[in-house]
Amino acid sequence: MGILVSCGAQMASLIRSAALLAATLTVSWFASQAAAQVPLSDEPLRPLPALESLKLDPRKIGLGEKLFVDGRLSEDRTVSCSTCHVLANGGMDGFVASVGIRKQIGAINAPTVFNSGLNFRQFWNGRAASLEDQIDGVVGNPKEFDTTWPSILARLGDDAELRKTFDDIYPDGLQAVNVKDALATYERSLLTPSRFDRFLQGQEDALTVEEKAGYGKFKSYGCVACHQGINVGGNMFQKFGAVNDYFGKRGGNITEADLGRFKITGRETDRHVFKVPSLRNVALTAPYFHDGTATTLEQAVEVMFLHQLGRSAPQEDKRLIVQFLRSLTGERFGSVP
């Protein structure tokens, strides 16, 4: 019996030693991976591309930047792209619905312009296939620019310096297609790499312990089923209220903006279906959703759990998810309180 006890004790000691060695080797391996900054693989989220990899013409970026703030694009010269997409405010205006020409209130919450070139469609209902198409929608909208391309080109054409810039960049000079190209090129340059991107690229200490825990919760609860890829969203359509009726709980009249894709396709299955928004810089872009009903990130997370996931979660888990979402703020903005 004594021999058996002795052997058992020795075996237990060996198991403890092996476990300790395995744990030490595992920690050492992760430390070496972090030190080498090996990009994480098999993640549902991907880091932003380097701006230089997009091979955008810097002359077009510069021209597009000037046009972005040019009020001559609107009929009364009071509204520009930057009116609704304020770069210092997360790329949007902070209103429930934007204010356009002649102080008219729009029908929907303006999405951020940052990283918009990575979205697979433009507008909440996805009616524009590209940034260039999206510009056409704004130009003709009676509550936004309320104008026409001939009118815009006539106004811009009175500017000899601007005409020369177009002539230097484009063989056919000042044309509507080139105005759209310059604007879209500038918008594609508006990438906002964050600490989270550095984490995905292998810098383990780019996120805090809580932010990494929040990322784990974000994945385990299924948020990544819709918010995935390079733009943490922006690459699919989804019904708002997939599990529980959002619009019934919200109350009030159903507006045209609430119809989502249904307004475009007429298919009943597209009623209340929207483009999933990107979550990059989401801590800066309140109010949330197409109707701007959530005023805080915490409220938005609650709505998502109830209406999209159809499940409950401890408040601590939701708090950690919010911490993770804050790490998606582009570093050009600094820290978010």
> Which residues partner with 68 through β-bridges?
none
d(CA 21, CA 163): 71
Q: Please enumerate, as own/partner, the contacts of 10-16 that have beta carbons within 8 Å and a separation of 24 or more.
A: none
d(CA 288, CA 25): 45
Residues near 212 by beta carbon (within 8 Å), at least 6 away in sequence: 199, 324
d(CA 56, CA 141): 29
Q: Is 335 helix (H, G, I), strand (E, B) or coil?
A: coil
Domain boundaries, the chain: 52-188, 195-333
- The structure tokens listed for 270 are 């597209």
Are both 52-188 and 195-333 of the same fold? yes
The alpha carbon torsion through 310, 314, 319, 325 (nearest 10 deg) reads -30
Enumerate the H helices of 51-148 as residue ranges: 58-68, 81-84, 131-140
At 108, the amino acid letter reads I
Residues near 329 by beta carbon (within 8 Å), at least 6 away in sequence: 192, 194, 281, 283, 284, 335, 336
Contact 317, 221 (CB under 8 A): yes
d(CA 11, CA 5): 10
CATH class of 52-188: mainly alpha
Strand duo 273-275 + 237-239: pairing: antiparallel
> Which residues partner with 194 through β-bridges?
330
The pLDDT assigned to 40 comes to 82
Sign of CA dihedral 146, 149, 154, 159: positive
- 52 as an active site residue: the answer is no
Residues near 137 by beta carbon (within 8 Å), at least 6 away in sequence: 122, 123, 127, 128
Contact 237, 274 (CB under 8 A): yes
Catalytic residue among 144, 187, 302, 331: 144
Question: Mind listing the pLDDT tens digit of every residue in the chain (337 residues)?
Answer: 443 334 344 434 433 443 343 334 333 433 444 445 678 878 999 999 999 999 999 999 999 999 999 999 999 999 999 999 999 999 999 999 999 999 999 999 999 999 999 999 999 999 999 999 999 999 999 999 999 999 999 999 999 999 999 999 999 999 999 999 999 999 999 999 999 999 999 999 999 999 999 999 999 999 999 999 999 999 999 999 999 999 999 999 999 999 999 999 999 999 999 999 999 999 999 999 999 999 999 999 999 999 999 999 999 999 999 999 999 999 876 544 3
The pLDDT assigned to 37 comes to 65
The pLDDT assigned to 6 comes to 41
d(CA 233, CA 227): 4
Closest CA to 122 of 188, 66, 78: 188
pTM attached to this predicted model:
0.87
Longest dimension (CA), the chain: 104
Contact 45, 214 (CB under 8 A): no
CATH number of 195-333: 1.10.760.10
